[in-house]
Amino acid sequence: MENQPTIMVTNDDGIDAPGLRALVQVLVSTRRFQVLVCAPDSEKSAMSHSITWRDPIAARRVEIDGATAYAIAGTPADCTSLGISKSLFPLIPDLIGFCKQVISGINMGSNCGYHIVYSGTVAGAREAFFNDIPAISVSYNWFGGQSKVENFTLSAEACIPIITAVLVEIKNKTYPLRCFLNIDLPTDVAHNKGYKLTKQGKSIYKMGWSQVTSDMQGGKMLSTMTMDTDSTAPIETGALNLSQDHLLFKREVLGGKLDEGDIDNADFKFLQQGYITVTPLGALSHAEIGCHSYFKDWLPSVGEHLSASSL
């Protein structure tokens, strides 16, 4: 164990989620890694990169065969930050120096395009990237009526070559630390078309709001971006008498779109074609080409109007 590279696993679906459990089981079964788990104690989907700032967070030991695991009362970014610190796993004296890789997932639902911004799964990997630790976020394109829980194991197995190859590059000191990887696996992962290097596209599922009469739901969206489903979760109506000053609203999916002007090698497009998409990501969100040039000419004119109005 002492000579094995350490992999820390987190997610946003919660420590009991089948995606995380399948990933850990596959990692442990290879007997190549020391596996640590630091994941939310409940679902924290669509948390993006939020963190707990003022209040302490609780950590509870959880039994997972072959791994050292803790459930954390915090966000995915909290979990990564705490897990790679020297506080939670005291038996490893310098986890940041020893933790060779952080993997966040496997999320139940794809994380492509603009949804990467909302994703707690991606944030779990991004937090590691902030601390110069190679990281991978992994999501499976769950589709209601077609997907099975067993597909999480197939997804984890499909990621092992990438995980192993990254560790080789780390050992050789040739792995770039200027990015982290976001992997999405197709619905029919058993018959995937192989790996495809892609870029973050502009795909997004449009959402709206509908008024509801109860705070109870008959069902809920399974995860951050579980949009490909053949049915909509029903809403229970209750006996709450809400005045116009106290209303309840629930998000609803209006439909999805892939921007017609999207880049040719967009992640969502190739995921839909059956590829395992591998998308390098960074922490900075650069404006699209042309925006900086526009504002370079625009801002001086604003300054002139400001000077004129102050006279």
The pLDDT value recorded for residue 304 is: 72
pLDDT at 228 over 60: no
Of the spans 10-14, 221-225, 235-239, 260-264, which averages the highest pLDDT? 10-14
The pLDDT value recorded for residue 232 is: 40
Higher pLDDT, 84 or 309: 84
Domain ranges of the chain: 6-198+266-281, 204-257
For residue 154, count other CB atoms closer than 10 A to its CB.
18
The pLDDT value recorded for residue 309 is: 59
pLDDT at 294 over 90: no
pLDDT band at 189 (very low <50, low <70, confident <90, very high): very high
Task: Name the 3-class secondary structure at 20.
Answer: helix
The model's pLDDT over 59-77, given as tens digits with 9 standing for 90+, comes to 999 999 999 999 999 999 9
Q: Report the topology of domain 6-198+266-281.
A: Stationary-phase Survival Protein Sure Homolog; Chain: A, (3.40.1210)
pLDDT at 124 over 80: yes
pLDDT band at 237 (very low <50, low <70, confident <90, very high): very low
Strand partners, 195: 276
Reported pTM = 0.85
pLDDT at 280 over 70: yes
The pLDDT value recorded for residue 230 is: 43
298, exposed or middle or buried, with CB in 10 Å at 0-12, 13-18, 19+?
exposed
CA-to-CA dists, residue 200 to 205, 220, 249, 262, 268, angstroms:
15, 27, 31, 9, 8
Q: What is the mean pLDDT of the chain?
A: 85
Q: What is d(CA 267, CA 184) in angstroms, rounded to the nearest whole number?
A: 8
pLDDT at 196 over 60: yes
